[in-house]
Structure 1
Amino acid sequence: MPSRIPPLAITAYTATSALGRGRRAHVEALRDRRTGLRDNDFTAAPLACAIGRVDGLEAQPLPAEFAEHDSRNNRLAWLGLGADGFLDAARAAIDRHGASRVALLVGTSTASIGSTEQAHLALEDGRFAPAFASPALHTPHSLGLFLEHVLGTRGPCSTIATACSSSAKIFAQGERLIRLGIVDAAILAGVDTLCGSVLFGFNALELVAPEACRPFDVARRGISIGEAAGFALLERDGAGAPRLLGYGESSDAHHMSTPHPHGLGARLALADAFARAGVGAHEVDYVNLHGTATVKNDEVEAALLADSFPPTTRASSTKGWTGHTLGAAGILEAVITLLAIEHGFVPGTLNTDTRDPLCDARLALANEERAVRVALSNSFGFGGNNCTLAFGCAA
């Protein structure tokens, strides 16, 4: 088992999703039980499903100095950077520590593949049209290149693309870089936008529900796909800031798209998160579940919840609000977990009426007002890429 690690301060954090821009918009939507999901109006070809779409991205190109990076994904990143003063906080951290002492770690599963799709649909004499000719767009590291240009960081810059766990794992990578003395701070970014290949690809796998997703419901029929941008700033110290207490990562490699039937990888990630955080299951007030509303994911995670936590633990999936934001899901749900700690409430599980028999009363359906001191966020991705994050209230 890993050793306990010193907690790190999360000195700034924000999210932009179908619920709105910034922390306040998310808290208000969660408290009002107002979903961001709507009927699919994104794809030109018909696809009956619900999506979590951020409005206005098509009409807001990047500023001229960043034109070579212009894509839907980077536009969402730019929009999200400005929420809650995060861009100013990130630049202030770079000034404090020095550009070479700040890491930039990004999580995304699609990067700017939407622009590559558009480029292939608008070929000119078999070549990409000038509007799509920038090499910076057609790479998995598109998001990192763009944010490095915006922020001016000169420390380690990497992209993690492990499907749905991508932007949870950047918390773990940031902690290691700081603990090992390689950097003094880490800017974490998770961004994924809607695109045709993702929507139709998941539909081809028969994983997309025709209506808004219903996590852990006995009649659940699959996921609703969304888009989001989330950011966090990790530093050693920060008065009044919530803490990253620990994390656990695993890769069970059981199947390309199906979790291990006994959740072995998920259980290992949970155990390692407990060990690094130095907490036990009885100390956890809230668990933000991965809860995709697919049959197998929810089945495995429900068993993990029942086997690992006392009856007093509260848990929920928040994908009924935002949809499954893929590579951005980890950091979006980390932000929601931090909001639960900050505001003292447990968001329920939206759209779910009848719990699957594998679930029990630990799964909160309605919102609950209660103190949340220690909370977990699960992100379990394709290929068995699992990550559990442990957060705590300000020291």
Structure 2
Amino acid sequence: MCCLTKFISRVQSLRLTSFTATSAIGTGLAATLAALREQRSGIARKKWETLDFDACIGEVPGLDTLALRDDLAIFDCRNNRLAQLALEQDGFEQSVRDVITRYGSKRVGVFLGTSTSGILSSEIAYRHRDAASGKLPANHDYRHTHNSYSSADFVRRYFGLQGPAFVVSTACSSSAKVFGSAQRMLASGLLDAAIVGGVDSLCLTTLYGFNSLQLVSSNPCKPFDINRDGISIGDGAAFLLVEKAENAVHDDILMSGIGESSDAHHMSTPHPEGLGARLAMQAALKMSGLQPSDISYINLHGTSTHNNDDAEDKGVTAIFGTETPCSSTKGHLGHTLGAAGAIEAIICALALKNNFAPGGVGTETIDPQLHCNYLLSNLEQPMRHALSNSFGFGGSNCSLVFSKITA
């Protein structure tokens, strides 16, 4: 009989039945894993759209020419094209259809995170507004593109689902929090399975907005580096099919713990002592039944801003001390905002399955004021449990624990 640990309750856990990720480091799991293994970054400096400054971004190529399925044409925008590209990878679509056959279309939910959804479509429409009235073009479909619910609506219709669906938009913690939404729905008996994840694509609002806050680096980001000076924004989409963990088998990955907090310290700055982050991590550990020493690897939120990395380091070391291997993977693919939680959840799953902790990319000299065990190179080691942090503006925090079932 397969076991995980005597402490973890499979009643509360979610089994990751299937998952897929697409970002600047690759389309699908094989490409993503290869980039992690090679410590390769997908961030590049380029002139994007109508930006009046050169930005270092993590762009997924080919989205401008990708065509949506004919029956989903009303959803056409960069964000939903990215969603479709991701859904088509790693056999994910077939896994979902198999679950629909097993449970029925009303018993599968869709819970996704996004920050800006398809806002680029409105930015482009605004350039073409009527000179006299200021009206946007008649063919601009806000409901199916810019609207935050657009991504969940798109995925729901892509699969012909009839179960509950909604979008969480809590900035950078959005697609981590959806795991909690799914866990509660399945635990209540309302659903048998759910698609969770997130999708966020490059747009002018976030690039200009973060730049106005002086949070965008002029170089590829370097988390936890003494010379870090801001984020690099990237495209990203990730989807996971989750079910109850009761029938999980050897080598399956479970979401065994989730912790959420809202410290509301400041609109855009984390609590300087990382108190909200600490509460989220402690709650995730409590649900999983694990001790800090049980965690093999921490995927840090690690945005590469001075305040975030400093506060997160304080929160992490207060709970885990200075020995647990940690890194941020935003140096690989950029900050994918509302998709970051789901993508980094999948990175944790890949790390657990392949028994390695990924070293950070871009970081050269670790800030001596930061004390967690930040990895500059990949660490090959047995992996049992990993924790992933996602912390959003306004103190909206979420930590997830993932665990591998071993014989």
Please state which band the TM-score falls in when normalised by the shorter chain: over 0.9
Letter of the 1:205 counterpart: L
1:306 lines up with 2:314 in the alignment: no
Quote the offset at 1:130 in angstroms.
4.3
> 1:1-395 counterparts in 2 under 5 A?
6-124=12-130, 126-133=134-141, 135-236=143-244, 237-239=247-249, 240-360=251-371, 362-395=373-406
Q: What does the per-residue CA deviation read over 1:164-187, in whole Å, with 9 as the maximum and x for residues that have no partner?
A: 000000011111111111111111
2-structure distance, mates of 1:219, 1:104: 40
What SS class does the counterpart of residue 243 from structure 1 fall into?
strand
What TM-score results when the alignment is normalised by the length of structure 2?
A: 0.94
Question: What stretches of structure 2 of length at least 5 have no aligned partner?
Answer: 1-7
2:4 aligns with: none
8 Å CA contact 2:122–2:142 kept in 1: the answer is no
Name whichever of 141-150 and 377-386 sits farther off.
Answer: 141-150
Q: What does the per-residue CA deviation read over 1:112-165, in whole Å, with 9 as the maximum and x for residues that have no partner?
A: 111011111112464333442363223111111111111111111011000000
The size of the alignment, in residue pairs, is 393
Quote the offset at 1:374 in angstroms.
0.3
Quote the offset at 1:313 in angstroms.
1.2
Q: What does the per-residue CA deviation read over 1:231-267, in whole Å, with 9 as the maximum and x for residues that have no partner?
A: 0011013434211101000111111000011111111
8 Å CA contact 1:174–1:186 kept in 2: the answer is yes
Q: What does the per-residue CA deviation read over 1:317-346, in whole Å, with 9 as the maximum and x for residues that have no partner?
A: 010000000000000111111110011111
2-structure distance, mates of 1:137, 1:306: 42
Letter of the 1:159 counterpart: V
8 Å CA contact 1:140–1:159 kept in 2: the answer is yes
Letter of the 2:353 counterpart: E
What TM-score results when the alignment is normalised by the length of structure 1?
A: 0.96
Q: What does the per-residue CA deviation read over 1:70-94, in whole Å, with 9 as the maximum and x for residues that have no partner?
A: 0000000000001101111112111
1-structure distance, mates of 2:353, 2:283: 25
What SS class does the counterpart of residue 31 from structure 2 fall into?
helix
1:361–1:112: structure 2 CA closer, same or farther, 3 Å change rule?
closer
Quote the offset at 1:6 in angstroms.
2.9
Cα RMSD (Å) of the superposition?
1.5
Letter of the 1:336 counterpart: I
1:361–1:298: structure 2 CA closer, same or farther, 3 Å change rule?
closer
2-structure distance, mates of 1:30, 1:352: 14
Name whichever of 93-102 and 162-171 sits farther off.
Answer: 93-102
Name whichever of 43-52 and 194-203 sits farther off.
Answer: 43-52
1-structure distance, mates of 2:215, 2:321: 31
What SS class does the counterpart of residue 144 from structure 2 fall into?
coil
What SS class does the counterpart of residue 84 from structure 2 fall into?
helix
1:203–1:290: structure 2 CA closer, same or farther, 3 Å change rule?
same
2-structure distance, mates of 1:185, 1:329: 22
Quote the offset at 1:310 in angstroms.
4.1
1-structure distance, mates of 2:188, 2:146: 33
What SS class does the counterpart of residue 148 from structure 1 fall into?
helix
8 Å CA contact 2:173–2:397 kept in 1: the answer is yes
2-structure distance, mates of 1:142, 1:11: 25
1:289–1:22: structure 2 CA closer, same or farther, 3 Å change rule?
same
Letter of the 1:268 counterpart: L
Question: What stretches of structure 1 of length at least 5 have no aligned partner?
Answer: none
Name whichever of 366-375 and 126-135 sits farther off.
Answer: 126-135
8 Å CA contact 1:109–1:192 kept in 2: the answer is yes
What SS class does the counterpart of residue 172 from structure 2 fall into?
helix
8 Å CA contact 2:79–2:117 kept in 1: the answer is yes
Quote the offset at 1:361 in angstroms.
5.9
User: Matched residues, percent identical?
Assistant: 45
Quote the offset at 1:349 in angstroms.
1.4
